[in-house]
Amino acid sequence: MDQTDMPIGAKFAVIHRAFRRELDASLREKELTGAQFGALRALDRLERERGGEISQRDVEELCRSAHPTMTEILKKLEKKGFIEARPSETDRRRKLIRRTDKARELDRAAFRADEQTYEKFAAGLDAAQRASLESMLDLLIANICGGGEERRV
């Protein structure tokens, strides 16, 4: 099938799978998957913006991830030494999470892997096209995250 005839949903699916495959390959040597990298990036953002206590629920909301999915991702990150988790002192049901030094050291290299994957996929786009693409994607994400009922991505 010619990609110009593909439904838009199929186009997003192809891009998502290919991006995830490339990113996973780049991160494999660092013992990370794309999903784990996303959770670490979310933790980094929450630590910079909020500081203090960050719960598993905070990470789930930022990643737009279901609780069972994030639980598995965080268990693997903890086992690999990228995060530490502990119960909150004020509410023992609440799990608090923080990145370890190992995760902080990894950040730059892992972020470069994401950028390199984007560069590969965006080859042939000029600066204006890239800016337009990123602006449109930001708007799509804003539409998904806002307005009406909450949706999971």
pLDDT band for position 46 (50/70/90)? very high
pLDDT at 96 over 60: yes
**Please, which contacts does 144-153 make with residues 24 or more away whose CB atoms are closer than 8 Å?**
144/64, 145/64, 151/64, 152/64, 152/65, 152/66, 153/64
What pairing do the DSSP bridges indicate for beta strands 83-87 and 95-99? antiparallel
Residue 18 lies in a domain: yes
Residue 150 lies in a domain: no
CATH of the domain at 60: 1.10.10.10
**Domain around 126:** 3-145
- pLDDT, mean of residues 102-122: 84
Alpha-helical (H) ranges within the chain are 8-28, 34-49, 56-63, 67-79, 101-121, 127-145
Token readout for 57 is 């629920």
**Number of domains present in the structure of the chain:** 1
Residue 54 lies in a domain: yes
Residue 151 lies in a domain: no
Residue 152 lies in a domain: no
User: Is the model more confident about 78 or about 20?
Assistant: 78
Residue 66 lies in a domain: yes
Residue 13 lies in a domain: yes
pLDDT at 140 over 70: yes
Q: What is the DSSP letter of 122?
A: T
Q: What is the pTM of this model?
A: 0.66
Task: Compute the distance between CA of residue 153 and CA of residue 94 in angstroms, rounded to an integer.
Answer: 23
pLDDT at 1 over 80: no
pLDDT at 60 over 70: yes
Residue 115 lies in a domain: yes
